[in-house]
Amino acid sequence: MAAKVQTEVVGADRLARTLTKAGQGLEDMTEAGTQAARAVVERARSLAPFRSGRLRASIRGEAQPTGADLLAGYASVRYAGVQEYGWAARHIHAQPYMRPALAQSERQVEAAYQAQADHLLGQVRGA
């Protein structure tokens, strides 16, 4: 006949609450996205071709809960994509600034997301 063993986990409720809260926080990484976008935008502005300054001024980042959007150009700055990728039919060579900016800022982007995740997971308490 097998003996019955009874176990009581102290702090399980607190663990469940704090894990749920951390999970909800990981679903909204807007703060990290803001920091990451800021780093890439700063780098892209320094790399963008400069004539009037309008292209550089049009570079911006918009944080989202699951990442960030990096944008360049407006209706009045239609040449942002042409500068990035070129236009062979018009003999305009590419002068990439957004893709290199992202590549050069990769460590800062990773650090921003890692810091927010570490902060959220560091608040888990219980059992």
Q: Which domain holds residue 79?
A: 29-121
| Statement: the pTM of the whole predicted model exceeds 0.75 | yes
CA–CA distances in Å: residue 33 to residues 37, 81, 127: 6, 23, 32
Domain assignment of residue 10, yes or no: no
Instruction: Output the pLDDT for position 50.
Output: 92
Can you tell me the mean pLDDT for 59-68?
Answer: 95
Domain assignment of residue 57, yes or no: yes
Q: Residue 86 pLDDT more than 70?
A: yes
> By the 8 A CB rule, do 26 and 67 touch?
no
Domain assignment of residue 110, yes or no: yes
Q: Residue 105 pLDDT more than 90?
A: yes
Cα gap 53→49, rounded to integer Å? 8
